[in-house]
Structure 1
Amino acid sequence: MSAPLDLDQLRTFIAIIECGSFTRAAEEVGRTQSAVSMQMRRLEERIARPLFTKNGRGNRLTEDGERLLDHARKLIRLSNETIAAFDAESLTGMVRIGVPDDYAERYMPDIIARFAKTNPHVELFIVCESSRDLAARIERNELDIAVVTHNPRSRPSSRVIRTEPLYWVGSLNHHAHEETPVSLAVGRHDCTWRRLACSALDSVGRAYRIPFTSWSSTVVASAVLAGLAVSLLPESALRPGMRVLSAADGFPSLAPVQIGMMRRPGAPAELIDALGEHIVASLDDLADPRLSSEPGTLQRASRSRAGHLPATW
């Protein structure tokens, strides 16, 4: 196996996975379906392993295909970063980005690292505040782009880029969820999730009190992990040591939460589009949380991919 891997074949391989079929992948990479099939046969010959197996009318990845996918993405990413490092026409300037801290801790490090490597001459100015404050900053032209909790009524200009479950959570090692009234750790009075939590508990007649109020997800998570309160968190904010609570624990199911993206009118399109694609890619790459195997805890949470940003965004 001394011959190098063909990057075009790897790009086509990734496109097949992301598009869901050979036919759509052929359109994505600008080749005929027969050419795509030939590329995959040559790639399988190159690594001497089958990458796909029949699954009804379609195909699914083999175990070796799953292994190759991780390596292929790394190789393509490294190739893009290398080209960007020597591109005299690479993007330059500063982008002001806002993100709530309950999202920032989970995926901002990867977003920053990925974007900085492929755009080394772009400066990122990052603000962590509530979605409400970030939306106001966008309107005042103080930010160029912001990741927010999507609210079609108060933030109609945000575009949904991810949908994920919203969970009631408590501590695995404590029993705050069994107390009456149950203690909550939530955001301030105008927090959408706080209102949602109160409304949901009211709907099932569950008594509660709110001894912990903070915009900081770190504070909320600390109160939960210490066994002092119960809270509600999106999938991306869950942490090991948390217990996912259900109707059996007296907590009603919650509607999924939508993550949206807002941009400042008149912001530099090329820069914002590039950063937006990096944000979407980082969210798509989020690994499902792996929490405790104890009953009532989350093992593998589903997620919904919003897809690539539309060309007109």
Structure 2
Amino acid sequence: MSAPLDIDQLQTFVAIIDTGSFTKAAARVFKTQSAVSMQMRRLEERIGKQLFIKDGRGNRLSAEGDKLLNYARRIIRLNSEAMAAFDDNRLEGTLRIGTPDDYADRYMPEIIGRFAKTHPNVELYIVCEPSVSLAEKMGRGELDIALVTHNPVARHSDVVRTEPLCWVGSANHALKEGAPVPLAVGRRDCNWRQLACSALDADGRDYQVLFTSWSSTVVAAAVLAGLAVSIMPESALRGGMKVLTQADGFPPLPPVQIGIMKRPGLSPSLMNAISDHIAACLDNMTPTPHEDDLDTDAKSFGRQFPRLRPGHMIPGW
């Protein structure tokens, strides 16, 4: 019978991928760099496959290493859930979480599901509002944690994910040539609305705001019906949508960053528990949902932002 995998080695392996460096991983797992390297050699011997490929002065993740990564995360998560189930000192109380509804659609099911398994005695109170409103509630102490669009000018948050911001239209309806771009966007103080309008102004392209709503469901409905164009993070794309690029006459957009805001004075145990779950869930997200249903342009749109893939450099082995 084959010997089981060593969870400590798997945790070090995941730390290398998450930090992008053997040196940084060593600091995270409280080991020397030589100890980290030795653990990876032993893990490779146990697996019987090469997990890292030497590339110049650094290393890159092999195809076999990428295959192991998914299993490693699942094993570590299941181990944590099992330990939490028998922990007499497990966390209790209420945690108030805020998130915009577009993030709630995409991210919250896994975050809530995982947190509930490891901390069944903690009640989660979820508020879905725009980032601007969530920041105001955080300032008044009405929320403990908020998942928001990172905007260093307007509010402080710790960035946990970066991904492309896309112009999107309907894959089944064509825009009228020569007509102003019909937009479906948030209210006037919405950062993405301001970004879309500024980009079109700078490009000299006419546009008209036809739909205004804080609801991502309303905006998506207008897009899917072929009534308007909007901008969305890549992970919010849905089947039936098409990414509009410079070839379609739309200017490039900067990437969007998702951040976490934390209430001062929140229990460190609760704060660390939910923050770790959020960061792990966002890191493990696939680039786009319903990818088989997306227009070809959406499938081929930039994949440079999701988690480390084979061929990405890892310095310091």
2:185–2:193 Cα contact (<8 Å) kept: yes
Which residue does the alignment assign to 1:184? 183
Which residue does the alignment assign to 2:132? 132
Structure 1 stretch displaced more, 114-123 or 24-33: 24-33
Q: Describe how 1:209-288 pairs up with structure 2 within 5 A.
A: 209-288=208-287
1:244–1:298 Cα contact (<8 Å) kept: no
TM-score normalised over the length of structure 2: 0.88
What is the RMSD computed on CA atoms of the aligned residues?
2.1
Residues 295 and 304 (structure 1), Cα distance of their counterparts in 2 relative to 1, 3 Å cut = closer
Which residue does the alignment assign to 2:206? 207
Q: Which amino acid aligns with 1:20?
A: G
Deviations 1:8-30 (A, max 9, x none): 12122222222333333333323
Residues 38 and 189 (structure 1), Cα distance of their counterparts in 2 relative to 1, 3 Å cut = closer
Residues in 2 aligned to 1:179 and 1:94: alpha-carbon distance in whole angstroms: 54
Deviations 1:216-270 (A, max 9, x none): 1111112112211100111221223221112222221222222222222332232
2:80–2:118 Cα contact (<8 Å) kept: yes
1:293–1:299 Cα contact (<8 Å) kept: no
Deviation of 1:58 (Å)? 2.1
Structure 1 stretch displaced more, 54-63 or 121-130: 54-63
Residues in 2 aligned to 1:240 and 1:153: alpha-carbon distance in whole angstroms: 34
SS of 2:211's equivalent in the other structure is: strand
Q: Which amino acid aligns with 1:37?
A: S
Same amino acid, percent of matched pairs? 62
Residues 78 and 295 (structure 1), Cα distance of their counterparts in 2 relative to 1, 3 Å cut = closer
Aligned residue pairs: how many?
Answer: 304
Q: Describe how 1:107-186 pairs up with structure 2 within 5 A.
A: 107-155=107-155, 157-176=156-175, 178=177, 180-186=179-185
Deviation of 1:178 (Å)? 4.0
Residues in 1 aligned to 2:144 and 2:298: alpha-carbon distance in whole angstroms: 41
Which residue does the alignment assign to 1:16? 16
Residues 295 and 121 (structure 1), Cα distance of their counterparts in 2 relative to 1, 3 Å cut = closer
Deviation of 1:284 (Å)? 1.2
Residues 38 and 99 (structure 1), Cα distance of their counterparts in 2 relative to 1, 3 Å cut = same
Deviations 1:72-108 (A, max 9, x none): 1110110011001111111111010000011111111
Residues in 1 aligned to 2:24 and 2:198: alpha-carbon distance in whole angstroms: 44
Which residue does the alignment assign to 2:296? 294
Residues 258 and 12 (structure 1), Cα distance of their counterparts in 2 relative to 1, 3 Å cut = closer
2:243–2:295 Cα contact (<8 Å) kept: no
1:178–1:249 Cα contact (<8 Å) kept: no
1:181–1:209 Cα contact (<8 Å) kept: yes
Which residue does the alignment assign to 1:308? none
Residues 197 and 110 (structure 1), Cα distance of their counterparts in 2 relative to 1, 3 Å cut = same
Residues in 1 aligned to 2:171 and 2:65: alpha-carbon distance in whole angstroms: 36
Residues 266 and 177 (structure 1), Cα distance of their counterparts in 2 relative to 1, 3 Å cut = farther
Higher relative contact order (CA 8 A, sep 6+): 2
1:288–1:300 Cα contact (<8 Å) kept: no
Residues in 2 aligned to 1:219 and 1:61: alpha-carbon distance in whole angstroms: 41
Structure 1 stretch displaced more, 185-194 or 97-106: 185-194
SS of 1:176's equivalent in the other structure is: coil
Q: Describe how 1:73-88 pairs up with structure 2 within 5 A.
A: 73-88=73-88
Which residue does the alignment assign to 1:56? 56
Task: Indicate yes or no: 2:27 matched with 1:27.
Answer: yes
Deviation of 1:54 (Å)? 1.7
1:245–1:297 Cα contact (<8 Å) kept: no
Q: Which amino acid aligns with 1:80?
A: S
SS of 2:184's equivalent in the other structure is: strand
2:95–2:124 Cα contact (<8 Å) kept: yes
Deviations 1:149-170 (A, max 9, x none): 2223332x33333332211111
Q: Which amino acid aligns with 1:229?
A: A
1:242–1:297 Cα contact (<8 Å) kept: no
SS of 1:280's equivalent in the other structure is: helix
